[in-house]
Structure 1
């Protein structure tokens, strides 16, 4: 049986912030595409942007969790450590 890699969370906040920035850019690009889209495409773009916003909210919550974990020294109850 192989042993899993240790949990390295040192740069999770930065990765999440980058993902949020990229998602915001995707929302902006999609909004710009709406101008030359059909009504069916517009509905699909708006629905996808809603899902993107939900993802952003989830990532922001995860950032808060990660920042709290950093503050607490990444104490984990992971059974593999």
Structure 2
């Protein structure tokens, strides 16, 4: 059984999609935090948003790496 070749052609698009969705979720959570009086909900959403911030930083690094790979591939 042969392995499929590494197809990285749409990685930047996939990562960008994930970044966009994570930002949307972050903003929705911030809205809920602003509207709710439930302290547990606020705490839970704040913790999720901290993790989202970390994920966003990692995805942004990854998208830069993929863009550099693509740039070097087409030289």
Question: So what's the TM-score if we normalise by structure 2?
Answer: 0.89
> How many Å apart are 1:33 and its aligned residue?
1.2
Of structures 1 and 2, the one with the larger relative CO (CA 8 A, separation 6+) is 1
Could you tell me how far apart the structure 2 residues matched to 1:60 and 1:37 are? Answer: 33
Question: So what's the TM-score if we normalise by structure 1?
Answer: 0.83
Q: How does 1:1-81 map to 2 (within 5 A)?
A: 2-34=1-33, 35-73=35-73
Q: In structure 1, list runs of 5 or more residues that go unmatched.
A: 75-81
Question: How many positions carry a matched residue from both structures?
Answer: 73
1:37-70: CA deviation from partner (whole Å, max 9, x where unpaired)? 5101111100000100100100000011001101
Bigger share in helix: 2
Calculate the aligned-residue CA RMSD, in Å: 1.3
> How many Å apart are 1:5 and its aligned residue?
1.7
- SS of the residue aligned with 2:73? coil
Could you tell me how far apart the structure 2 residues matched to 1:68 and 1:52 are? Answer: 24
